[in-house]
Structure 1
Amino acid sequence: MLSTILADIADRPFILVGMSALLLMLPLALTSTQGWIRRLGRNWKRLHWLVYPAAVLGLVHFFWIIRANRWTEPLIYAGLVAVFLAWRVWRRRPQRAG
Structure 2
Amino acid sequence: MENTLVDKIFRDSDGKIVIAQAPNLPLIIWIVTSILALVFTTGKINTLLDILANGSLFTWAWLELFQGVNYFRRALGLLVLTGLIAFKVINDSGFSR
Q: Please give the TM-score of this superposition, normalised by the length of structure 2.
A: 0.48
Q: Please give the TM-score of this superposition, normalised by the length of structure 1.
A: 0.48
**By percentage of residues, which structure has more helix?**
1
